[in-house]
Amino acid sequence: MIFLSLVVVLAILHWLGRAGFIQYDGWFRLLVNRLHKIPGIASVPVLALVLALLIPLVLLLVIFVLLYHNLGRTSLFFLYVPVLLYSLGRGNLVEDVKAYIELVNKGDNVAASLWVENLRGNKKPVGKDLDCDIEINDWRSLHTQALKTIAYRGFERTFAVIFWFVIVGPFGALLYRLSVLYRELAEEGSADAQVAAKWLWLLELPAVRLMGVTWAFVGNFETSPLRRNLLDIESASSSVLNECLRGALGAQTEHSNAAMAAMNPEQQAEYQEELEEETQDIIEDLTGDLVTTHNEPGYSFALIKSSLPLYNRSLLFWVCAIAFATLFV
Residue-wise pLDDT tens digits, 102-122: 988 888 888 888 988 888 875
Averaged confidence pLDDT in the chain: 82
- pLDDT higher than threshold 90 for residue 61: yes
Give strand pairing partners of 235: 128
Pick from 138, 120, 125, 307: nearest CA to 198: 125
% of the chain with per-residue pLDDT over 90? 38
H helices of 43-156, in order, are: 45-71, 77-87, 93-106, 109-120, 139-154
The residue that leads in pLDDT, 297 or 329, is 329
Neighbouring residues of 1: CB distance < 8 A, sequence distance ≥ 6: 73, 76, 77, 80
The rounded distance, in Å, linking the Cα atoms of 309 and 311 is 5
Mean pLDDT along residues 123-140: 64
pLDDT score for 271: 52
pTM: 0.84
Confidence of residue 297 (pLDDT cuts 50, 70, 90): very low
% of the chain with per-residue pLDDT over 70? 80
Provide the domain limits for residue 259.
2-327
- pLDDT higher than threshold 90 for residue 248: no
Neighbouring residues of 187: CB distance < 8 A, sequence distance ≥ 6: 193
Q: How many structural domains are present in the chain?
A: 1
Mean pLDDT along residues 31-48: 91
Summarize pLDDT for 193-204 with one digit per residue, the tens: 999 999 999 999
pLDDT score for 277: 55
What's the distance, Cα to Cα, between the start and end of the chain in Å? 11
- pLDDT higher than threshold 80 for residue 206: yes
pLDDT score for 293: 38
DSSP structure class, residue 124: P
- pLDDT higher than threshold 70 for residue 212: yes
The rounded distance, in Å, linking the Cα atoms of 293 and 233 is 36
The rounded distance, in Å, linking the Cα atoms of 169 and 311 is 23
- Three-state secondary-structure class, residue 128: strand
pLDDT score for 273: 58
pLDDT score for 220: 83
DSSP structure string for 42-53: HT-HHHHHHHHH
Q: Are 207 and 221 in contact (CB under 8 A)?
A: no
Q: Which residues of 58-84 are buried (b: 16+ CB within 10 A; e: fewer)?
A: eebeeebeebeeeeeeeebeebbbebb
- pLDDT higher than threshold 70 for residue 233: yes
pLDDT score for 161: 96
